[in-house]
Structure 1
């Protein structure tokens, strides 16, 4: 692409021959009326170009399906390029040829037997909008030298990944398996890291188009412009340290993405700082674990919309697909929204994991069920739920080491990396009650007090009361109700944060990209995607569809969670969900007494039920 006379036909035909594909000249697709105008020195307007661009846009997919081709077309404006690319696959390459006006004008004047009037060249330069993507070639050398430069740049990796840990390595393999040329860099400050790069290269470089670099500058310089770099490194200071190094080798129009679990406030700071230098930045939530990263994760990019447009085709190829075949990747919003949504995803994940663990614990130690029986029950539940977490739990329960259940040998201390706690703090900042997720975080916290718990166990003799029966169906209803509430609490935080930070989050799309690839995928996510398509979102428990579901489960939920706890079985998330539900569904609560207490000792005032909202009163509560 480029202005007339820049060498599109010459280099295009040479490139087509080099690649063994057909060459197409856009000039041959002009209607006769356009050719007549240009011969008479009349510049084409957008209306003139409409039919011409539409015709080529319809043909490009056919050319792609036939093995590809090279098209020489001016495509001077961004909207022209968008129209051309409208019907194409994701693998369209743009090559922008450019040179100074005086040099091209001299070429045009020497050109013979062409319908283009040389006087029109200035009008092309006037409307030219150089793309901030693709390969840029200044045609100051011979056609042969320019062709060599084009070929070299075409063969450069289209994306670079920094960090070859579990997730980075799997994402690199994911992309390479889909035909992408991938550059990779991993710091080599220890022998372990040196072996990691060496082993990865030896195992995969022959099968896929990998370019592994030991020097950061070489890694960056060998990326196809605009450079697209995905950081898959530990969150926190390591990200800032890497950005300080990268800033010396990248520039305006390049894209840096953080695919780790960074705190959203760190992402916001980095996004704003790099934007000042014209560098696009995305905070990218990626969920799915090692298997998801390899086969297709759920991807939640937030930040620069222009940056997202540079990478969206790659991300959509890399991501899992929903039941309709659409990619489980969508642009979340500006700033740090992508990492915020991923943080909340992890919060829901915390709640769901703890919830399943509670029902396992009750069945195993208070009902004397064998692991195989619990596994079978969870598999039965999962015929309805299609929950990834229920699925893997059923597998875990029956895994044996020799003749023993491996789970019985796993120390009961649950680790965490902080995203659950961040979610709780984020909820406090926008005034959302995050009962279930907070309870799940605290459950992990208390699990770490192993020595203290051992001491407490010798001081307090808690009977294991097993004197009641409960059906599997009743248990399922209690589990399902708590799970619905856990999801409703999580999505309420997203709804409030969307307003607080002006992100305009699409809750339906977020639920949709969580239907596959991610850790919390389930059939319920598909329901949520449908429910949230309404024009105005509200608290999930206020939707009629959810109320009808909860009405099926609430009696069992309200009756049986307290019964289980009364037998000495801890149910942190289940009880938190129950308390939330009972508080949320009562039009009167005990909060009036709390407000009166606040007014008593601190003169904080209160509103009255017999007066309009917004009027405040103070009382001397002491009896005179």
Structure 2
């Protein structure tokens, strides 16, 4: 059973809680004050605080008794034990036989309690010196006593029974809660933490624990120190907070409580350059940092997401098995989680995943819009067509589009009541910025980002529509165009993926990440938003070669057979007055990519004319540069 020492400043309730605990554990209760020699008691009665010299003999006596109580089956001792050196002197039995329970509250709370106490020699004015003396332990249980005695005892008993958590999760938003429940469903012992903001976010963690108490046993905390203390070493902490400054703030708050080799994992949509910076800074302090992309939305987080962790392999070996347990499974039963690569690789991959996602979403939306208004087809019929297409494509995004198109509200289709102003969280734009920095064309993904931007200009678009009077005076026949439209969709989707993977290839080389495109594709075959039949094919395609996807012989054959349908669809759409930015971008990229001669020679001549930027020549070796005086002054 061991000895339980209930510690804290005077007024924290050590005696009251100690007695309740002793009764609950069927142990004898002792109060350390009863072991003070008479001279110490007189000194405290006179309002003079004890000095270390006064405590020496008293602590020695307590240490002897702790040994005796431990041999006789255990006991509960109420003792202030404010300094670490006092606690070390009391540690006269093996650590596993000694249980520290630190009762605490803010100064004002304890002061009010002391003011109403009667019949005790401790004077309220001595409280300041106790708080100044207190050295809070970073071990044992930490219990906030600003609640009822019953709640305090209940929390102590719950924590005494609970083993140290394998992983801690910070941030109980939608994704955080879903991941926590996923972890618990896999029998992983966890602790959860959510910040406490009076009037805004109060008791989030504790309420979450209570809401799921019938099914799971785990601990929730509002204070970081308690939360960190509940984790086994090396501590593994998963952050599910908003990207940006919030991540830095949480990390800064955690650091005082962490030790060498602890692991912080950022599971949010952080920018990969922020991850590079954080990983480098924390590494200097001996702390591992993993930037971990997680895809799948609320349902995926709960049932099994695709997980993309990047960081040191040493850290992954420790936290990887936990992440793999909660990840979705591929068709062979292996987890859709793998060590992506070092430093910022995980978050870069998640960023690009979202970029491809932007392109696929816009592509489906363009085709829906084209069918809805060019062929005057109602949403339910479009849904039926998409469902037929998806028997071959096996695309999650196409699947959810079917459900969306069939959703009705008051006999009308809900899709017709949704405002055409799309929002974004930034990851699509980040992909475009990364492509610009690395010199990689990102046509379809960039087009999809800009399409969302222009959609947000709703009022301006309405005004412009009235001014330009662009009306659709052409109508198409669904039966006549549906096969070509499917071929256009397939081709544009292939090109969109090829463009995304090309950015991965270049980034892998630039940052020395040694990315495995086949393994990344496998991780994206389930759990994530862009899972599809095509992704299954890419697993095998990239096993053979990491070359540009459009150079694969099977892809070449497919695109050659469908290119005419893509170009025709774009042409008809534009003539009929329908914007198709991603379909157009795909067609233009393909034409540029497959052109041995394009218009860039004129661009280079222009640059050299006005800026003396030089150019290369077709009749000279690559790498030789020339400049011409273009204007004839004669």
- TM bin, normalised by shorter chain, reads 0.7 to 0.9
Alignment of 1:213-228 (within 5 A): 213-228=221-236
Change in 2 beyond 3 A, CA 1:144/1:268: closer
Aligned equivalents of 2:208, 2:162: Cα separation in 1: 24
Tell me what 1:496 maps to: 506
Following TM superposition, by how much is the alpha carbon of 1:327 offset from its aligned partner in structure 2, in angstroms? 0.4
Aligned equivalents of 1:373, 1:504: Cα separation in 2: 46
2:519 to 496, 501, 509: 509
Q: Would you say the 8 A contact 1:256–1:281 is kept in 2?
A: yes
1:485 to 495, 500, 523: 495
Q: Does 1:170 align with 2:178?
A: yes
Aligned equivalents of 1:529, 1:460: Cα separation in 2: 48
Equivalent position SS for 1:229: strand
Aligned equivalents of 1:618, 1:463: Cα separation in 2: 50
Aligned equivalents of 2:318, 2:439: Cα separation in 1: 36
Tell me what 2:251 maps to: 243
Following TM superposition, by how much is the alpha carbon of 1:209 offset from its aligned partner in structure 2, in angstroms? 2.6
Equivalent position SS for 1:200: helix
* Range with greater deviation from structure 2 (346-355 or 457-466): 457-466
Q: Would you say the 8 A contact 1:153–1:224 is kept in 2?
A: no
Q: Which 5+ residue runs of structure 2 have no aligned equivalent? A: 1-90, 101-138, 141-158
Aligned equivalents of 1:446, 1:610: Cα separation in 2: 44
Q: Would you say the 8 A contact 1:225–1:254 is kept in 2?
A: yes
Alignment of 1:543-554 (within 5 A): 543-554=552-563
Equivalent position SS for 2:192: strand
Q: Does 1:457 align with 2:457?
A: no
Q: Moved runs in structure 1, 4+ residues, more than 6 A?
A: 146-154
Equivalent position SS for 1:225: coil
1:567-614 deviation line (CA, Å, top 9, x unaligned) = 100101110111000000010001111111111111212111111111
1:440-460 deviation line (CA, Å, top 9, x unaligned) = 000000011111111101100
Aligned equivalents of 2:312, 2:328: Cα separation in 1: 23
2:584 to 575, 580, 583: 575
Equivalent position SS for 2:596: coil
Q: Would you say the 8 A contact 1:366–1:465 is kept in 2?
A: no
Change in 2 beyond 3 A, CA 1:202/1:143: closer
Tell me what 2:41 maps to: none
Q: Which 5+ residue runs of structure 1 have no aligned equivalent? A: 1-138
Q: Does 1:155 align with 2:107?
A: no
1:234 to 242, 250, 265: 242
TM-score, normalised on structure 2?
A: 0.74
Aligned equivalents of 1:598, 1:563: Cα separation in 2: 35
Tell me what 1:300 maps to: 308
Following TM superposition, by how much is the alpha carbon of 1:274 offset from its aligned partner in structure 2, in angstroms? 0.5
Aligned equivalents of 1:574, 1:464: Cα separation in 2: 19
| C-alpha RMSD of matched pairs (Å) | 2.0
Q: Does 1:472 align with 2:482?
A: yes
Alignment of 1:305-344 (within 5 A): 305-344=313-352
1:12-48 deviation line (CA, Å, top 9, x unaligned) = xxxxxxxxxxxxxxxxxxxxxxxxxxxxxxxxxxxxx
Aligned equivalents of 2:194, 2:521: Cα separation in 1: 34
Following TM superposition, by how much is the alpha carbon of 1:205 offset from its aligned partner in structure 2, in angstroms? 2.3
Tell me what 2:613 maps to: 604
Alignment of 1:529-540 (within 5 A): 529-534=539-544, 536-540=545-549
Change in 2 beyond 3 A, CA 1:559/1:188: same
Change in 2 beyond 3 A, CA 1:181/1:395: same
TM-score, normalised on structure 1?
A: 0.75
Alignment of 1:54-73 (within 5 A): none
Aligned equivalents of 1:198, 1:504: Cα separation in 2: 43
1:371 to 365, 379, 382: 379
Equivalent position SS for 1:549: helix
Following TM superposition, by how much is the alpha carbon of 1:173 offset from its aligned partner in structure 2, in angstroms? 0.1
Following TM superposition, by how much is the alpha carbon of 1:146 offset from its aligned partner in structure 2, in angstroms? 8.8
Aligned equivalents of 1:448, 1:558: Cα separation in 2: 28
1:174-224 deviation line (CA, Å, top 9, x unaligned) = 010111111000012154422643542222123113211111110011111
2:277 to 269, 291, 297: 269
Aligned equivalents of 1:144, 1:357: Cα separation in 2: 62
Tell me what 2:288 maps to: 280
Aligned equivalents of 1:199, 1:364: Cα separation in 2: 46
Equivalent position SS for 1:532: helix
Change in 2 beyond 3 A, CA 1:295/1:620: same
Structure of greater Rg:
2
Equivalent position SS for 1:411: coil
Following TM superposition, by how much is the alpha carbon of 1:268 offset from its aligned partner in structure 2, in angstroms? 0.7
Equivalent position SS for 2:202: helix
Following TM superposition, by how much is the alpha carbon of 1:499 offset from its aligned partner in structure 2, in angstroms? 0.4
Q: Would you say the 8 A contact 1:415–1:444 is kept in 2?
A: yes
Q: Would you say the 8 A contact 1:332–1:338 is kept in 2?
A: yes
Following TM superposition, by how much is the alpha carbon of 1:465 offset from its aligned partner in structure 2, in angstroms? 3.1
Aligned pair count reads: 485
